[in-house]
C-alpha cells in the first residue's frame, strides 16, 4: 500500500525556511551550562511532547513539539531527529509548520506510521476561530502529512474534521496503528469535564470511520487524557495516557500533570476495561509518553523530561525542554517495568574505579567518580535498617550549597529523590514505595548535565527529574545515616557527550 503525495502549497516551504533560520540564529546565542550531553534536546527554542516515534528505512525517527523562535511555548511546529542506534542522533529540518486553514495556530501532537514506501504523520491541527484562549472558539482536527524521503512532508489536510460529539472541544493527539487489514486511531478528548478516548478505523489513512469510545473516565480520573497510546504486551492490553486534573493522593500524583497506564483488555466490541491508574514514573519531570513497536518486537518509549508550570532555568540560555532516554517496556504481574534501551551501553566511555566505593556508617566522598555525565549501578543493603537514611549525593558543590540526594528512607520504606538543593529554581521530593520486606535494592541511574533518571527494583519503578546545579557542582558522596545497612556503587562509567 502506498499513499500518493499532493504537492505542498507554496507558503509552507517559506514557513519552514523561516523557522529553520530562527533555529540557526538561536544556536548562536546558546549557553551550554545545562545542555544535555546524550539526551535529545532542541538545537534552540522550545521542546515538549515527543511525536511520531517511528522506525523508517533502517532508522529511528523522533519528532517533537517545537517552537523554534524562542524558548517559550508558542505556535507548535514539529521538530525532527533521527538515529540508527538510539545513541547518536542527527537533527533534521523542521518537518511541519502551522499556517494552513486547518492548523493555522499549531501543529499539535500526533503519531507516525509507515505505509508502503511512505512515512505518514497524523497530527492535530489547532486553530482559534475567535479570541485566542477562548475555548469556545477553539477548533481541533486530525490531519495527515506524508513523505517519501522521511524529511520533506506534504500536508494533505484534515482527515477527521470534527469530533464525534459536538460538545467536545478538546480533541487531540492521535495515535495510529495497523491491525489486520485496517488502520486504527485513538485520540484524547474532553466531553464537558469527563475524559474520553474516541476510536476510529480506516483502510487508507484518509477516510476515517468513528466506531465508538474505546473508554472514558469516571469521577476522580481527571478532565482530559492527553497523548493516549494503546499497546499489547504479554497478551494484555495497556492503555497509556497523560491525565490532566487528577488530584494528589499521599505520595502519589504530586506533579501538575501525570503519565501513567491501566492494564486490562479490549473486548470484541473494542471497548477497553482495566485496572487502576498507575504512574509510569515517580519523578518530578515526566510527561506525554509515546511508544514504538520496534522491528525486533521490543516496545520502546520516549517521554518529555519536563513538566508544565515547573521551573525552566534554561530559558535564559535560549533553549528549553528535553526528552528522556529511550526505554524498553515489559509487563510483569500486571505492572509495566521500564529499562534503559540496551543500546545505551554504547554511551559508556570510561569505566571508573569503584573497588572501595562503599559506606556503612557516616559519609564518604568519592572524588574519582566526580562528573556530570555518569552511569552508576548502586546497591542498597537494607537488612536490619529500620530507621534513618541510606543513599548517595550527586552533583555536590565544594561549598556544600548544592547536592541532589537519592536515598532509602527506612521510616517511610520508600526510595526518595530530594532536589531541595539541586540548583536554580527546583525543589521538592518525589518517592516510590518498596515492596514490603525488601532486603536490598539495586539502582541504575543516569546523570546528565541537567537531569537524573533512576531505574529501580528491576524496572518496577523509575524517578526522572530535571536538575540545574552550577557546572562545577560535580561531587559524589555516599552516606549511611541509619541504624544498619550499606550503600555500594558496584559499577560506574563516564558517558560520552553525543548530542550538541
CA-based torsion, 476, 482, 483, 486: positive or negative: negative
- The number of angstroms, rounded, from the C-alpha of 500 to the middle of its chain's C-alpha atoms is 20
Which of these is catalytic: 49, 229, 409, 418? Answer: 49
Instruction: State the alpha helices, DSSP H only, in 291-399.
Output: none
Task: Kindly state the cell numbers that stand for 204.
Answer: 487508507
306 is catalytic: no
Spatial contact of 2 and 118, defined as CB atoms under 8 Å apart: yes
Contacts of 168 (CB under 8 A, 6+ apart): 189, 190, 191, 196
Task: Determine the Cα–Cα distance for residues 112 and 53; give it in Å rounded to an integer.
Answer: 6
Looking up cell 558522596 gives: 477
Strand pairing class (327-332; 335-340):
antiparallel
Looking up cell 499539535 gives: 108
Looking up cell 521542546 gives: 47
Burial (0-12, 13-18, 19+ Cβ within 10 Å), 197: buried
- The number of angstroms, rounded, from the C-alpha of 311 to the middle of its chain's C-alpha atoms is 17
Task: Determine the Cα–Cα distance for residues 251 and 417; give it in Å rounded to an integer.
Answer: 12
Task: Determine the Cα–Cα distance for residues 197 and 187; give it in Å rounded to an integer.
Answer: 6
Task: Determine the Cα–Cα distance for residues 433 and 416; give it in Å rounded to an integer.
Answer: 9
Spatial contact of 457 and 466, defined as CB atoms under 8 Å apart: no
The sheet with strand 77-83 has its strands ordered as 90-91, 77-83, 59-67, 45-56, 319-320
Q: Closest Cα to residue 229, out of 302, 334, 141?
A: 302
Task: Determine the Cα–Cα distance for residues 350 and 321; give it in Å rounded to an integer.
Answer: 28
Instruction: Give the end-to-end CA distance of the chain in Å, rounded to a whole number.
Output: 38
Looking up cell 533521527 gives: 82
Task: Determine the Cα–Cα distance for residues 470 and 395; give it in Å rounded to an integer.
Answer: 9
Q: Report which DSSP code applies to 354.
A: -
Task: Determine the Cα–Cα distance for residues 480 and 482; give it in Å rounded to an integer.
Answer: 6
Task: Kindly state the cell numbers that stand for 17.
Answer: 525556511
Question: H or E element: which one contains 211?
Answer: strand 208-216
Task: Determine the Cα–Cα distance for residues 430 and 413; give it in Å rounded to an integer.
Answer: 13
For the annotated catalytic residues, the residue numbers are 49
Amino acid at each position: 500500500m502506498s499513499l500518493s503525495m499532493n504537492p505542498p502549497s507554496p507558503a509552507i516551504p517559506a514557513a519552514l525556511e523561516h523557522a529553520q533560520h530562527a533555529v540557526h540564529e538561536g544556536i548562536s546565542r546558546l549557553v551550554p551550562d545545562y545542555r544535555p550531553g546524550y539526551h535529545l534536546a532542541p538545537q534552540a527554542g522550545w521542546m515538549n511532547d515527543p511525536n511520531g516515534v517511528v522506525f523508517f528505512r533502517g532508522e529511528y525517527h523522533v519528532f517533537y513539539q517545537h517552537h523554534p523562535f524562542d524558548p517559550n511555548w508558542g505556535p507548535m511546529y514539529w521538530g525532527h531527529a533521527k538515529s540508527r542506534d538510539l545513541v547518536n542522533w542527527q537533527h533534521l529540518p523542521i518537518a511541519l509548520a502551522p499556517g494552513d486553514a486547518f492548523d493555522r495556530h499549531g501543529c499539535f501532537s500526533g503519531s507516525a506510521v509507515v505505509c508502503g514506501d511512505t512515512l505518514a504523520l497524523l497530527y492535530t491541527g489547532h486553530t482559534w476561530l475567535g479570541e485566542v484562549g477562548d475555548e469556545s472558539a477553539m477548533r481541533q482536527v486530525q490531519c495527515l502529512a506524508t513523505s517519501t524521503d522521511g524529511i520533506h512532508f506534504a500536508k494533505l489536510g484534515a482527515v477527521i474534521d470534527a469530533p464525534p460529539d459536538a460538545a467536545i472541544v478538546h480533541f487531540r493527539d492521535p495515535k495510529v496503528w495497523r491491525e489486520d487489514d485496517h488502520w486504527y486511531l485513538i485520540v484524547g478528548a474532553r466531553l464537558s469535564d469527563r475524559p474520553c478516548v474516541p476510536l476510529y478505523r480506516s483502510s487508507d489513512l484518509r477516510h476515517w470511520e468513528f466506531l465508538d469510545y474505546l473508554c472514558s473516565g469516571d469521577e476522580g480520573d481527571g478532565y482530559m487524557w492527553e497523548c493516549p497510546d494503546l499497546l499489547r504486551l504479554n497478551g494484555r492490553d495497556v492503555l497509556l495516557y497523560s491525565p490532566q486534573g487528577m488530584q494528589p493522593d499521599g505520595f502519589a500524583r504530586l506533579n501538575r500533570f501525570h503519565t501513567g497506564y491501566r492494564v486490562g483488555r479490549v473486548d470484541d466490541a473494542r471497548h477497553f476495561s482495566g485496572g487502576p491508574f498507575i504512574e509510569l514514573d515517580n519523578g518530578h519531570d515526566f510527561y506525554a509518553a509515546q511508544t514504538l513497536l520496534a522491528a525486533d518486537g521490543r516496545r520502546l518509549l520516549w517521554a518529555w523530561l519536563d513538566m508544565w508550570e515547573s521551573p525552566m532555568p534554561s530559558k535564559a540560555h535560549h533553549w528549553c525542554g528535553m526528552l528522556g532516554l529511550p526505554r524498553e517496556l515489559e509487563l510483569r504481574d500486571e505492572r509495566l517495568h521500564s529499562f534503559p534501551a540496551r543500546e545505551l551501553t554504547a554511551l559508556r566511555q570510561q569505566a571508573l574505579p569503584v573497588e572501595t566505593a562503599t559506606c556503612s556508617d557516616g559519609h564518604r566522598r568519592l572524588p574519582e567518580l566526580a562528573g556530570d555525565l555518569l552511569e552508576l549501578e548502586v546497591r542498597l543493603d537494607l537488612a536490619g535498617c529500620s530507621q534513618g537514611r541510606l543513599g548517595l549525593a550527586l552533583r555536590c558543590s565544594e561549598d556544600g550549597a548544592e547536592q541532589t540526594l537519592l536515598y532509602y528512607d527506612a521510616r517511610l520504606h520508600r526510595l526518595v529523590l530530594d532536589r531541595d538543593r539541586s540548583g536554580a529554581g527546583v525543589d521538592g521530593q518525589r518517592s516510590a514505595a518498596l515492596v514490603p520486606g525488601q532486603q536490598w535494592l539495586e539502582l541504575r541511574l543516569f546523570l546528565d548535565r541537567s537531569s537524573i533518571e533512576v531505574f529501580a527494583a528491576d524496572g518496577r519503578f523509575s524517578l526522572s527529574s530535571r536538575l540545574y546545579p552550577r557546572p562545577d557542582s560535580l561531587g559524589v558522596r555516599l552516606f549511611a545515616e541509619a541504624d544498619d545497612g550499606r550503600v555500594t556503587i558496584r559499577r560506574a562509567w563516564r558517558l560520552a557527550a553525543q548530542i550538541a
